[in-house]
């Protein structure tokens, strides 16, 4: 299922979205799609809505158009639909091709693309340097030859990425330009030839050798005319690749691939330029040895990254399948209820959020515990996302006869802030403490003078923790049940919506 246009519009991390969507227990349902958007910070509500009411929908909404989740934007009397590719439909066409499912969404601050490092600016910079050098220091034909080599590198990189599920907009625009059945057939032809390439030499496909070839030729092109003899030789060898590719397209797959034909055009252009305009240079054994080393290094690098990405893709698919099982709410609930329920007498001290909420999360911790910082950050992020549905209590373990003066003063300052200032100030004080571990900063937040609050509620709360065997920190308690050991604490975010809606658990 492809929805790149939709993901790009919402500014989501594509890999994270696909991973979370694929690992959802109800994949590939509309519920899985909606939950994934919620998880990534795009608040949404799903409805089954008859078409007669669609005129009342907002300007932008998500629908299932032609069996694909798509962003639909009203534009006058027509609709722009963004999914695998952008297209424009009139009302009748949209209604005919859509189900009754609609999803209304609201982008939030968290719905931002957090993708990994983007190497493309560096790649473009390298291309620019090569082109500037070529056009300033070489003949016009040598510069054009290098330009074609760079075009081949770029296209080959896009194909290389597409092998691992990273859909290329460049390839999509070349292979799927236009609309209608013809464009769809052309796109399928490209996918079929690229993804089902049966060539395998040391694990590399025919498209991988395209990348190796053009990278090598780009480097050799920088030393023209000294490498003209070798460049001519490689362009002659490319005739075999051209013939093989045309044979596969015409007689095996019986479909022509536009992106393949574009690469063939580049190869033919380089063949013509090198053999008409390049003058043979004296053959040198040194240049030959350097060329062999160059091809070996390039081949090894492509093989290494191809193997690495294949392993990563395999692990991601396996992990996604395993997580569907792990993220099953019924399984999580059964593990949660296996623990004996803890009845806390004090549920109000250091309690924030909606006090009478049906979902009560308690975190047993110690301000000086090194592992408690992340646990508090996790709990507070849940409270921030569900302020009207979750109650959060911070149950610090504090025993006066074991606490030093600094700890006692810290607890007193936090108690003062909790009792006398807005809830957000208390949460900011907790966050500030775990970020700095500086007692003086918390004292400044409480007023800058030593406080002397009644700490008996904290002492009693600590005694209740101890009586329940909650001595180690941090520990999460959900409605009186200790978070299951078989799950990571971070897994709780997958179940918050179900916990809120589960009336039996409340």
Distance between terminal CA atoms of the chain?
36
Task: Please tell me the predicted confidence (pLDDT) of residue 390.
Answer: 92
Residues 352 and 493 in one domain: yes
Residues 306 and 336 in one domain: no
pLDDT at 464 over 70: yes
Residues 84 and 178 in one domain: no
CA distance linking residue 366 with residue 348, whole number of Å: 18
Structural domains counted in the chain? 3
Burial 366-383 (b: 16+ CB within 10 A, else e): bbebeebbebbebbbebb
Task: Please tell me the predicted confidence (pLDDT) of residue 81.
Answer: 84
Any domain includes 114: no
The tokens for 306 are 């191809």
Residues 282 and 372 in one domain: no
Q: In the listed set 83, 107, 131, which residue is the last one of a domain according to the structure?
A: 107
The tokens for 367 are 């301000």
Q: Which helix (H) or strand (E) holds 352?
A: strand 351-353
pLDDT at 212 over 80: yes
Distance of CA 335 to the CA centre of its chain: 29
Place of tokens 């490209």: 190
Any domain includes 165: yes
Task: Please tell me the predicted confidence (pLDDT) of residue 46.
Answer: 79
Residues 452 and 418 in one domain: yes
Residues 376 and 472 in one domain: yes
DSSP readout, 279-344? PPPPP-HHHHHHHHHHHHHHHHHHHHHHHHHHHHHHHHHHHHHHHHHHT-HHHHHHHHHTSPP---
CA distance linking residue 460 with residue 397, whole number of Å: 10
Beta strands across the sheet bearing 78-82: 42-48, 98-107, 60-65, 68-75, 78-82, 86-90
The tokens for 436 are 């700095």
Q: In the listed set 315, 347, 377, which residue is the last one of a domain according to the structure?
A: 315
- Using DSSP, state whether 249 is helix, strand or coil: helix
CA distance linking residue 484 with residue 477, whole number of Å: 9
Bridge partners for 88 per DSSP: 80
Residues 162 and 281 in one domain: yes
- Domain harbouring 417, CATH code: 3.40.30.10
pLDDT at 113 over 70: no
Place of tokens 């900011």: 428
Task: Please tell me the predicted confidence (pLDDT) of residue 401.
Answer: 81
- 377-381 long-range CB contacts below 8 Å, 24 or more apart? 377/431, 377/434, 378/489, 378/490, 378/492, 378/493, 379/476, 380/427, 380/430, 380/431, 381/493
Specify the higher pLDDT residue, 385 or 109. 385
Backbone Cα Rg of the chain:
31
- 109-117 long-range CB contacts below 8 Å, 24 or more apart? 109/41, 110/40, 110/41, 111/10, 111/11, 111/12, 111/40, 111/41, 111/42, 112/11, 112/41, 113/11, 113/12, 113/13, 114/13, 114/16, 115/13, 115/14, 115/15, 116/15
Residues 375 and 300 in one domain: no
CA distance linking residue 395 with residue 289, whole number of Å: 70
Specify the higher pLDDT residue, 348 or 179. 348
Beta strands across the sheet bearing 359-365: 351-353, 390-396, 359-365, 475-478, 481-482
Task: Please tell me the predicted confidence (pLDDT) of residue 107.
Answer: 61
pLDDT at 494 over 50: yes
Burial 228-248 (b: 16+ CB within 10 A, else e): bbbbbebbeebeebbeebeeb
pLDDT at 417 over 70: yes
Bridge partners for 99 per DSSP: none
Provide CB contacts within 8 A for 184, sequence distance 6+.
Answer: 176
Domain span including residue 370 = 330-501
Any domain includes 320: no
Bridge partners for 105 per DSSP: 44
Q: Is 56 exposed, middle or buried (0-12, 13-18, 19+ CB in 10 A)?
A: exposed
Task: Please tell me the predicted confidence (pLDDT) of residue 187.
Answer: 46
- Domain harbouring 284, CATH code: 1.20.1440.130
pLDDT at 369 over 50: yes
Any domain includes 183: yes
Closest-CA residue to 195 (of 170, 220, 164): 164
Any domain includes 481: yes
Residues 310 and 336 in one domain: no
Task: Please tell me the predicted confidence (pLDDT) of residue 112.
Answer: 44
Residues 290 and 396 in one domain: no
pLDDT at 25 over 80: no
Range 242-266 average pLDDT: 84
Q: In the listed set 261, 281, 315, which residue is the last one of a domain according to the structure?
A: 315
Any domain includes 324: no
Instruction: Indicate the average pLDDT of the chain.
Output: 82
Any domain includes 273: yes
Alpha-carbon torsion, ordered 326, 329, 330, 334, to 10 deg: 70
Any domain includes 395: yes
Residues 93 and 132 in one domain: no
pLDDT at 355 over 80: yes
CA distance linking residue 152 with residue 146, whole number of Å: 10
Q: How confident is the model at residue 270 (pLDDT cuts 50, 70, 90)?
A: very high
For 333, half-sphere exposure in the C-beta direction (CA atoms, 13 angstrom radius) is 15
pLDDT tens sequence across 64-75? 888 888 888 887
Residues 246 and 362 in one domain: no
The tokens for 300 are 């090894």
Burial 448-486 (b: 16+ CB within 10 A, else e): eeebebebeebbebbebbeebebeebbbbbbbebbbbee
CA distance linking residue 359 with residue 75, whole number of Å: 42
Instruction: Give the number of other CB atoms < 10 A from CB of residue 447.
Output: 13
Range 88-109 average pLDDT: 81
């Amino acid at each position: 299922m492809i929805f790149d246009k939709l993901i790009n519009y919402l500014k989501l991390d594509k890999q994270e979205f696909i991973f979370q969507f694929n690992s959802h227990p109800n994949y590939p349902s509309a519920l899985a799609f909606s939950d994934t958007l919620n998880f990534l910070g795009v608040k949404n509500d799903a409805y089954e809505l008859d078409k007669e009411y669609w005129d009342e929908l907002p300007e932008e909404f998500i629908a299932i158009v032609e069996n694909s989740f798509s962003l639909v934007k009203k534009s006058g009397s027509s609709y722009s639909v963004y999914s695998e590719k952008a297209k424009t439909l009139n009302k009748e066409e949209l209604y005919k091709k859509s189900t009754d499912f609609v999803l209304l969404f609201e982008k939030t601050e968290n719905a931002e693309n957090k993708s990994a490092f983007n190497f493309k600016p560096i790649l473009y910079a390298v291309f620019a340097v090569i082109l500037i050098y070529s056009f300033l220091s070489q003949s016009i034909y040598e510069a054009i030859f290098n330009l074609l080599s760079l075009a081949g590198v770029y296209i080959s990189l896009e194909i290389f990425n597409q092998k691992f599920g990273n859909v290329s907009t460049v390839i999509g625009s070349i292979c799927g330009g236009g609309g209608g059945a013809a464009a769809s057939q052309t796109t399928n032809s490209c996918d079929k030839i690229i993804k089902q390439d049966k060539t395998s030499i040391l694990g590399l496909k025919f498209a991988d050798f395209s990348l190796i070839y053009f990278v090598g030729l780009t480097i050799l092109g920088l030393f023209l005319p000294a490498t003209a003899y070798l460049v001519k030789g490689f362009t002659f060898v490319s005739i075999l690749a051209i013939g093989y590719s045309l044979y596969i397209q015409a007689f095996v797959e019986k479909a022509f691939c536009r992106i393949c034909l574009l690469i063939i055009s580049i190869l033919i252009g380089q063949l013509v330029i090198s053999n008409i305009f390049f003058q043979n240079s004296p053959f040198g054994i040194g240049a030959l040895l350097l060329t062999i080393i160059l091809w070996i290094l390039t081949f090894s690098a492509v093989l290494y990254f191809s193997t690495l990405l294949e392993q990563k893709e395999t692990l991601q698919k396996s992990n996604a399948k395993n997580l569907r099982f792990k993220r099953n709410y019924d399984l999580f609930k059964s593990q949660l209820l296996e623990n004996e329920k803890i009845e806390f007498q004090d549920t109000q001290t250091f309690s924030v959020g909606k006090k009478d909420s049906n979902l009560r999360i308690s975190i047993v911790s110690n301000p000086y515990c090194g592992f408690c910082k992340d646990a508090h950050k996790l709990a507070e992020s849940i409270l921030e996302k569900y302020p009207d549905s979750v109650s959060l209590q911070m149950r610090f373990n504090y025993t006066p006869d074991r606490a030093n003066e600094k700890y006692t003063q810290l607890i007193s300052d936090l108690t003062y802030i909790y009792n006398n200032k807005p809830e957000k100030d208390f949460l900011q004080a907790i966050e500030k403490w775990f970020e700095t571990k500086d007692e003086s900063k918390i004292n400044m937040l409480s007023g800058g003078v030593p406080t002397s609050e009644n700490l008996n509620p904290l002492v009693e709360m600590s005694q209740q923790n101890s009586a329940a065997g909650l001595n180690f920190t941090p520990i999460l308690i959900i409605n009186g049940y200790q978070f299951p050991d078989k799950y990571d604490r971070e897994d709780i975010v997958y179940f918050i919506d179900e916990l809120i809606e589960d009336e039996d658990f409340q």
